[in-house]
Amino acid sequence: MKTVTQRFIKFTALNTMSNEDSKSCPSTRVQLIFAYYMAKECKSMGLSDVKVDKNGYVTARLPKNAEGFSKIGFISHMDTSPDASGEGITPVITEKYDGTPIVLNGVTLSPARFPVLLNYIGQDIISSDGTTLLGADDKAGIAEILTAMEYLITHPEIEHGDISIGFTPDEEIGRGADFFDVEQFDCDFAYTVDGGKIGELEHENFNAARAKITIKGVSVHPGFAKGIMKNAALIGTKLAARLPVDETPSKTDGYDGFYHLTCFNATPSQCKMSYIIRDFDKDSFEKRKATITNIVADLNEKYDNIIELNLCDEYYNMSEKIKECMHVIDLAKRAMEECNIEPIIRPIRGGTDGARLSYMGLPCPNIFTGGHNFHGVCEFIPVQSMEKAVEVIVKIAQLGKKP
């Protein structure tokens, strides 16, 4: 058997960054290449019904070896975030971490900055070399699922039902479930393996929307601009200033929602802005969207309709669907406890493929991979946390008798 670490290190070598500006699915060709590589990996270890569809979704199945079990799925995404480079990743393994700073290329993983490191003294820490992200989000999840499946194959004495696995493209740009075939996946419920630190078990997430704003200004020579110029850049700053200053990611936590300005490109002639809008409560979510809509309407009245707003929902809080089948959470919680892991049940301040899949008829909470500091060059994951994730997946399969 390959270890989960061996698999993970091998997978990180392959660039799978997604691209929000692309209209194709997958959004990048490298993801499709990786999808076929994953299919080959699945076949080589003995999984059946291995498929890669035209959109790059990979599915495979481990047939049941006993009766009376639920049909369970495990899902992870193949793409890495475009927020930091995912090309040329060179993992660094710090064995038996001693609690001192880990010095990388231009970056230091220090307990002073990341106190959580002190939880892993004596363990083996995998990071990037400091110039790229690591890719634990979510290649750690893929490696953990495959290692668990291989363990079940090589230990036929462990009884389980039909298990399906799925690897999706473009999760990081909000499209991971766009073409997921829930009917073909054929599961009673599933888990995304896409969480953070060891023990995380999540069945609440943000309601999410994205606002794209284009301001078409009127630019003339500044010496002759009185009564004529409409400075798009300046109007953009006025729009941003109308939103609550304390409702941003850096000033919110827990169940707080926020507005997050993700892009601002401006000249006097044109300004393009992008916001993501997040809230756990559906009514508050609708109010946030209304706030941006009303601000744009007010500024359009003042500046003769020069602002265009494209506002669209991305996903919703899965808790509305999971609350109807809490045995799925109870199963994961019991599996963690039997693996000597304390479950950490808390809301995801983000989203997963599982949020949309839950609304597509496949209840799909999220469990940990073990990683920290996703989407940046300070990302790291302890080897022992990945190994525990493998144990939990195996245990869920083993305990998955029909309620």
Q: Above 90 in pLDDT, residue 352?
A: no
- In this prediction, residue 403 has a pLDDT band, given cuts at 50, 70 and 90, of confident
**Percent share of the chain, pLDDT over 70:** 100
Q: Above 90 in pLDDT, residue 174?
A: no
Radius of gyration in angstroms for the set of CA atoms belonging to the chain, rounded to a whole number:
23
- 91-147: pLDDT as tens digits: 999 999 999 999 999 999 999 999 999 999 999 999 999 999 999 999 999 999 999
Give me the count of residues in the chain: 403
pTM for this entry = 0.89
DSSP string, 308-352: EEEEEEEE--THHHHTT-THHHHHHHHHHHHTT---EE--BSS--
Q: What is the DSSP letter of 56?
A: -
| Arithmetic mean of pLDDT over the chain | 96
CA dist 281 and 204 (Å) reads: 10
pLDDT of 272:
98
| Mean local confidence (pLDDT), 245-249 | 96
Q: Above 90 in pLDDT, residue 1?
A: no
- 299-351: pLDDT as tens digits: 999 999 999 999 999 899 999 999 999 999 999 999 999 999 999 998 989 88
- Is residue 97 classed exposed, middle or buried when 0-12, 13-18 and 19+ CB atoms within 10 A define those classes? buried
Q: Above 90 in pLDDT, residue 25?
A: yes
> What is the number of other CB atoms lying within 10 angstroms of the CB of residue 221?
8
Task: Write down all domains in the chain, each with its CATH number in brackets.
Answer: 4-205+317-399 (3.40.630.10), 207-315 (3.30.70.360)
- 176-218: pLDDT as tens digits: 999 999 999 999 999 999 999 999 999 999 999 999 999 999 9
| Mean local confidence (pLDDT), 338-365 | 94
CA dist 252 and 278 (Å) reads: 11
**Percent share of the chain, pLDDT over 90:** 96
Report CA-CA distances (Å) from 321 to 3, 87, 204, 364: 35, 37, 10, 9
Enzyme catalytic residues? 79, 171
The region of weakest confidence among 211-220, 248-257, 349-358, 377-386 is 349-358
Q: What is the DSSP letter of 119?
A: G
pLDDT of 377:
96
CA dist 368 and 296 (Å) reads: 40
- Are 145 and 153 in contact by the 8 Å Cβ rule? The answer is no
- 51-93: pLDDT as tens digits: 999 999 999 999 999 999 999 999 999 999 999 999 999 999 9
CA dist 146 and 150 (Å) reads: 6
